[in-house]
Structure 1
Amino acid sequence: MFGLIGHLTSLEHAQAVAKELGYPEYANQDLDFWCSAPPQIVDHITVTSITGQKIEGQYVESCFLPEMLANRRIKAAIRKILNAMAHAQKHGINITALGGFSSIIFEEFNLHESKQVRNVKLEFDRFTTGNTHTAYILCRQVEQASQKLGIDLSKATVAVVGATGDIGSAVCRWLDARTDVADLLLVARNQERLQNLQEELGRGKILKLEEALPLADIIVWVASMPKGVEIDPATLKQPCLLIDGGYPKNMSTKVQHPGVCVLNGGIVEHSLDIDWKIMKIVNMEAPARQLFACFAEAMLLEFEKWHTNFSWGRNQITVEKMDQIGLVSVKHGFRPLLS
């Protein structure tokens, strides 16, 4: 059995979803309540591969909300993720993906040091961040969507915003090794990590965000949007492909221009309907078929019986592992979202 650990995008969203899922006691509560609310299994899932194989899974709502980080409830956020992991393990789930902020919190606060959660000793090989599959799908979106727009990668400049993160660095490695992209622009806050990545790749120009965006034919955004930062679409190239790999997906509302194509990054479509309700709740356009690539990684690992932390640690994603997860992604009927 596979598991998915997720969370909602805001307190308001959480209250609305709680009501819809039949948890009225959660529906009108404030942030303090959500800081103490325990994790819940709120969806049972059946996925059928195009090979005919069927697997079962469960969605674990962590009750984490982004406002916890904004309001400096860091201990509450950490507790949410660890409790959700322990909850999944107690229910015998073989491999569980950490979705959205779950994996970010795990990495940023070194939660691998927190092996004991009350009476549960966490077995980390039961968990994956899903970042390898996400990075693979983002790269395939770059390749396939640019072709649809008539952007020739061999002549194109690609800016990766958030280049030093786990997913961003993997995207850079893939673009360097698997494509003939002309120029690669590296954008991130940490200059030391940027220089290390540039040295590893043997290429790439380190630029500030405002310098990189007007130069890019393709922008892969895999960072959080800094407060106060606005993107003026008139300053971007025309055409420009902007792949929004962040969470929540909000670039399509922030950047609107006929010459800029904004694509929801890190999203896959399955060839067959999935029996679940959770993707409708997070407002996927085709909730029976579309899902986050990190969640799909847990499904793929369950299909293949690879019950291991396939994606784990910072900047450990290799092009070879992306190839490996990519092959089974195609095998079981997943494809990158392109519209």
Structure 2
Amino acid sequence: MFGLIGHLTSLEHAQSVARELGYPEYADQGLDFWCSAPPQIVDTIKVTSVTGQQIEGRYVESCFLPEMLASRRIKAATRKIVNAMAHAQKNGINITALGGFSSIIFENFNLQQISQVRNIKLEFERFTTGNTHTAYIICRQVEQVSQQVGVDLSEATIAVCGATGDIGSAVCRWLDAHTDMKELLLIARNQERLQALQAELGRGKILAMEEALPQADIIVWVASMPKGMEIDPTQLKQPCLLIDGGYPKNMSNLVKHPGVYVLNGGIVEHSLDIDWKIMKIVNMDAPARQLFACFAESMLLEFEKLYTNFSWGRNQITLEKMDLIGQVSRKHGFRPLLTVSS
């Protein structure tokens, strides 16, 4: 059995979903209540591969909300993630994906130091961040959608925002190895990590965001949006492909301009309907078929009976692992989302 650990996008979103899922005691509560709310299994999932194989999973709502980080409730946020992991393990889930902020919090706050949660000793091989599959899908989106919008990859300048993160660095390695792009622009806050990535790749220009974005034919956004920051779409190239790999997906609303094409990055479509309700709650356009690639990774590992932390830590994603998860993804009927908005 596979598992998905997720969270909702805001307090308001959480309250409305609680009402919809039949948790009225959660629906009218404020942030303090959600800081203490325990994780809950709120969905049973059935997935059928194009091979005919069927698997079953559970969705674990962590009750984490992004406002916890904004209000400096860091301890509450970290407790949410490890409690959700313990809940998944306690319920016999073999492999669980950490979705959205779950994996970011786990890595950034080094939660691997917390091995014991009450009477449960966490078995970390039961968990995966799903970042390898996400990085692979984003790279395939770059390759396939660039043609749709009239961008020639061999003449393209690609900017990666969040280049030193786990997903961003993997995207840079893949694009360097698998495409003949003209130029790679590296954007991140940590200059030391940027220089290390540049040295590893043997290429790439380190630029500030405001300098890099107007030069880019393709922008891969896999960073958090700094508070108060805005992207002026009139300063972007036309055509420009912007792949939004963040969560929540909001670039299509923030960046609207003729010739600027926005794609929800790291989203896959399955060939067959998935029996679940959770993707309706996160507003997927086709909730029976579309899902986050990180969630799909735990499904793929369950299909293949690879009960291992396939994606783990920072900058540990190899091209070989991306190739492997890509092969398994295609085998079981998953494909990158290719629909852009403009």
Class of the TM-score when normalised by the shorter of the 2 chains: over 0.9
CA distance in 2, matches of 1:127, 1:181: 34
What amino acid is aligned across from residue 153 of structure 1 in structure 2?
Answer: L
Note the C-alpha offset of 1:189: 0.3
Q: Secondary structure at the match of 1:43?
A: strand
CA RMSD of aligned residues (A): 0.4
Q: Does 1:49 align with 2:56?
A: no
CA distance in 1, matches of 2:83, 2:311: 20
CA distance in 2, matches of 1:278, 1:130: 18
Note the C-alpha offset of 1:222: 0.1
Q: Does 1:313 align with 2:313?
A: yes
Note the C-alpha offset of 1:149: 1.3
Q: Secondary structure at the match of 1:72?
A: coil
TM-score between the two structures when normalised by the length of structure 2:
0.99
Note the C-alpha offset of 1:127: 0.1
The aligned residue for residue 333 of structure 1 is 333
CA distance in 2, matches of 1:104, 1:228: 21
The aligned residue for residue 293 of structure 1 is 293
CA distance in 1, matches of 2:231, 2:214: 10
1:67-86 pair list within 5 angstroms: 67-86=67-86
CA distance in 1, matches of 2:264, 2:242: 9
Note the C-alpha offset of 1:148: 1.0
Q: Give aligned pairs, total.
A: 339
Q: Secondary structure at the match of 2:338?
A: coil
1:237-316 pair list within 5 angstroms: 237-316=237-316
Note the C-alpha offset of 1:35: 0.2
The aligned residue for residue 149 of structure 2 is 149
Per-residue displacement from partner, 1:97-141 (whole Å, max 9, x unpaired)?
Answer: 000000000000000110000100000000000000000000000
Q: Secondary structure at the match of 2:79?
A: helix
The aligned residue for residue 221 of structure 1 is 221
Q: Does 1:24 align with 2:29?
A: no
CA distance in 2, matches of 1:179, 1:239: 19
Q: Percent identity?
A: 84
The aligned residue for residue 163 of structure 2 is 163
Q: Secondary structure at the match of 2:181?
A: coil
1:179-258 pair list within 5 angstroms: 179-258=179-258
Per-residue displacement from partner, 1:66-98 (whole Å, max 9, x unpaired)?
Answer: 000000000000000000000000000000000
CA distance in 1, matches of 2:9, 2:148: 31
Q: Secondary structure at the match of 1:83?
A: helix
What amino acid is aligned across from residue 97 of structure 2 in structure 1?
Answer: A
CA distance in 1, matches of 2:337, 2:206: 29
CA distance in 1, matches of 2:165, 2:118: 31
Deviates more, 1:60-69 or 1:148-157: 148-157
Per-residue displacement from partner, 1:18-38 (whole Å, max 9, x unpaired)?
Answer: 000000000000000000000
CA distance in 2, matches of 1:181, 1:323: 19
Q: Secondary structure at the match of 1:41?
A: strand
What amino acid is aligned across from residue 64 of structure 2 in structure 1?
Answer: F
Q: Secondary structure at the match of 1:248?
A: coil
CA distance in 1, matches of 2:150, 2:246: 25
What amino acid is aligned across from residue 166 of structure 1 in structure 2?
Answer: D
Q: Does 1:121 align with 2:121?
A: yes
CA distance in 2, matches of 1:52, 1:171: 31
CA distance in 1, matches of 2:19, 2:229: 34
Q: Secondary structure at the match of 1:274?
A: coil
Unaligned runs of 5+ in 2: none
CA distance in 2, matches of 1:179, 1:121: 44
Note the C-alpha offset of 1:269: 0.2
CA distance in 2, matches of 1:99, 1:231: 26
Q: Extract structure 1 runs of 4+ deviating beyond 3 A.
A: none
CA distance in 1, matches of 2:79, 2:228: 29
What amino acid is aligned across from residue 242 of structure 1 in structure 2?
Answer: L
Note the C-alpha offset of 1:273: 0.1
TM-score between the two structures when normalised by the length of structure 1:
1.00
Note the C-alpha offset of 1:150: 1.9
Per-residue displacement from partner, 1:226-285 (whole Å, max 9, x unpaired)?
Answer: 112111100000000000000000000000011100000000000000000000000000
